[in-house]
Amino acid sequence: MSSVFTKIIRGEIPCYKIYEDERTFAFLDISPEAVGHTLVVPKNEVAKVYELQDEDYRAVMETVRKLMQHYETVLGKRMTMKVVGVDVPHAHVHILPFDEYFEKGLRGGITEETKPKISQDEMRELQEKLRLN
């Protein structure tokens, strides 16, 4: 059975796509921990980042680097990344702006109450602002 991320890549589930190339796909997280929270996934469905083939691992990390540099310029905020790998069985990397809101959430724990509330219109505006290709 395909993961939710594979369904997003195939266009079966809508998303706010930010970037796509031959090996990777990036989109805004619909339950963001910070404004601009983006997921970078390999198109090849593998459960864990450390199980990726070398080429796919390098491609994911290159996309992460490219997007973080772009976001830092566009948003004017330092960027951070994390790999958790337990919520969806499809390798992925989270990239997030490291701002006061996110830092506060990290210290107190990220909860539904501390996550930003972003409307669909705001998500579309953010998508346009952050889109790389």
Our CA angle for 20, 23, 73, nearest 5°, is 45
CA distance 60 to 94: 11
93: Cβ contacts below 8 Å, ≥ 6 apart: 39, 40, 41, 49, 60, 61, 64, 81, 82, 83
Catalytically active residues, by annotation: 92
Comparing CA positions, the residue from 13, 67, 63, 82 lying closest to residue 36 is: 67
Q: What residues contact 75, with CB distance under 8 A and at least 6 apart? A: 36, 97, 130
